[in-house]
Amino acid sequence: MGKKFHIITYGCQMNKYDSDALRGLMESRGHRWTESVDEADIVIVNTCAVRQHAEDRALGRIEEIIGHKKRKPSLVVGIMGCVAQEHGERLFEKIPGLDFVVGTDNLDVVADIAEGKLKPGAYTSINKNFLGIDAAAHIEPGQVSAFITIMRGCDNFCSYCIVPYVRGRERSLPPERILQQVRYAVSRGVREITLLGQNVNSYRWEDVDFPALLDMVAQVEGVCRLRFVTNHPKDFTPKILDVVEKHGEKIPPAFHLPLQSGSDRILRLMNRKYTLSDYMRIIEEIYRRFPDAAITTDIIVGFPGETEKDFESTLAAMRDVGFAGVFAFKYSVRPGTAAAKLEDDVPEAEKIRRLRTAIDLGIELARQFSQKHIGKVFPALVEKKSPKNPGKLAATLPSGRTVLIDENFAEIGDIVPVKITDAKVWVLRGEVVEK
Ligand code: 5AD
Ligand code: SF4
């Protein structure tokens, strides 16, 4: 008899993909998805360990769900993902009532646990060859955009980052398996694919490198838009830009290129393996080829030893690039990482002030970027009805910004030319025009 299950996802897009793949696997084995935690026989929480705050939120949610056992003692509650891998069996002591712990290399055991083929317990062994759940990831009816993981793990060991410890060594998926997933998604009506990896630029399967893979995916019939995240400045090459250029509007010039800090001293302590001038050279090359490029970034403030001067360099770099979007984070010590040995010496109040300052500047830059769209015409991919604006459809521009358009002039899944009439920070308004 199939079980009713629900998955709650925290963290990055790769976790979202893993949850969708697990959903696909569970459904293929006869279990049924439910939107409601109250109705579920099994609830699995997919967790993120990248910052302490993310970890605390996920654990808090699990405790809350375990509370439902009072009403429904048969409820099974499991944890998967990065926090599961990080703490393993210890989670049973920490969270009474937890039934199973499934690490990042063992996601496929969840279905066996659900079916009683495996005992509930901790499954966190390291499997260097695990390439993810081998099931077609779930796709909602009418879903226009889908993520596809092309590589797992990370070998970069940025000094602050827990990912290499919880997601293990970097491994790429064979191109054929990726293409099969892309074809499946397209056959279900998906028009936009986003290729995912901790550092997609270091993708390699035999002689297929990332630019070659990107070129292959762009040629799959039915792929109308193609994006990719995340890039690493040390591995970002002009060959990638050649492929973007070759495929014109199909691969929009939108690049997420995490800078982390604008100070060379901090970049060295972070083990990022590039300097600010290396980074700026890439930016110049991107803008030279794509003057309208949308470049987004991640910034960490309050890294150990970060002085006011270092922080000012980060703000200056943000202005110089003119980022389209900035994700700023407060440094969070991750046990076991190299940076955890450094003194976490920036006072909390100062970290908060720097975070606020970086966020505010990020918002101002985002507004300026959005306003540059006004008066121009762009192809917009219609994603869905706007949840908050009756009568409007939400469409995505090449830059990644959302534009709201009148629902009488397009259908979900269409790519329509839209003239931008107004711009807030993240959301624009526009009118569908003749080609
Ligand atoms: N503290 C704060 N931010 C972090 N990130 C990764 N590890 C940490 C940490 N320990 C940020 C980086 C990365 C993004 C996904 O999360 O900016 O690019
Ligand atoms: Fe973490 Fe650096 Fe790997 Fe990104 S590249 S996942 S920041 S170690």
Of 73, 91, 123, the domain-final residue: 123
Residue 48 lies in a domain: yes
* Residues 202/234, Cβ–Cβ less than 8 Å: no
Lowest mean pLDDT segment, chosen from 126-140, 170-184, 338-352, 394-408 = 126-140
Q: Which ligand is nearest to the CA of 13?
A: 1
Average pLDDT over residues 37-43: 96
Residues 169, 218 within the same domain: yes
Domain C-terminal end among 66, 91, 123: 123
* Residue the block writes with tokens 């770099």: 317
Regarding the beta carbon of 160 and ligand 1, being less than 6 Å apart is answered: yes
- Contact residues of ligand 2, CB 6 A cut-off: 154, 156-158, 161, 163-164, 198-199, 232
Residues 60 and 165 in one domain: no
Q: Is the pLDDT of residue 77 over 90?
A: yes
pLDDT tens per residue, range 6-18: 999 999 999 999 9
DSSP codes, 122-186 = EE----TT--S--SPPP--TT--EEEEE-EE------TT--HHHHT-S-EEPPHHHHHHHHHHHH
Rounded CA separation 152/13 (Å): 12
Last residue of one domain, picked from the residues 98, 123, 148:
123
Number of compact structural domains in the chain: 3
- The predicted structure's pLDDT at residue 435: 66
Q: What is the CATH classification number for the domain harbouring 400?
A: 2.40.50.140
> Do 189 and 245 belong to one domain?
yes
Cα 329 to averaged position of ligand 1 atoms, centre (Å): 7
Do 84 and 148 belong to one domain? no
Write down the H helix ranges in 232-275: 238-246, 264-269
Please give the single-letter amino acid code of residue 385: K
Helix (H, G, I), strand (E, B) or coil at 191: coil
Distance from C-alpha of 354 to C-alpha of 229, rounded to nearest angstrom = 26
More confident site: 69 or 134: 69
In 250-325, where does DSSP find H-type helix? 264-269, 276-289, 308-321
What was the pLDDT predicted at 249?
A: 80
**Cβ of 303 below 6 Å from ligand 1:** no
Residues 6+ away with beta carbon under 8 Å from 112: 118
Domain of residue 181 covers 139-252
- Determine the pLDDT at residue 49: 97
Tokens 């891998």 correspond to 85
* Ligand 2 center to 335 CA (angstroms): 15
415 vs 410: CA distance, rounded Å: 8
> Do residues 262 and 317 touch, judged by C-beta distance below 8 A?
yes
Cα separation, 101 vs 92, in Å, equals: 8
Atom of ligand 1 nearest to the CA of 161: 7
Coil, strand or helix at 257: coil
Mean pLDDT of 327-344: 98
Tokens of 277: 């001038």
- CATH code, domain carrying 203: 3.30.750.210
The stretch 112-141 carries a mean pLDDT of 92
Q: Which ligand ends up closest to the CA of 346?
A: 1
CB atoms within 10 A of CB 143: 19
Atom of ligand 1 nearest to the CA of 50: 7
Residue 1 scores a pLDDT above 80: no
Q: How many beta carbons lie within 10 A of that of residue 61, not counting itself?
A: 17
The whole-number pLDDT of residue 434 equals: 81
Q: Using a pLDDT cut of 70, give the percent of the chain over it.
A: 100
Average pLDDT over residues 397-406: 98
> What integer is the mean pLDDT of 72-98?
96
Q: Which residues pair with 254 in a beta bridge?
A: 294
Whether 329 lines ligand 1, by a CB cut-off of 6 Å, is: yes
Q: Whose CA is nearest to atom 2 of ligand 1?
A: 331
pLDDT for 159 beyond 80: yes
Rg value, the chain, Cα? 22
Average pLDDT for 408-422 = 97
Phi then psi dihedrals of residue 110, to 5 deg: -60, -40
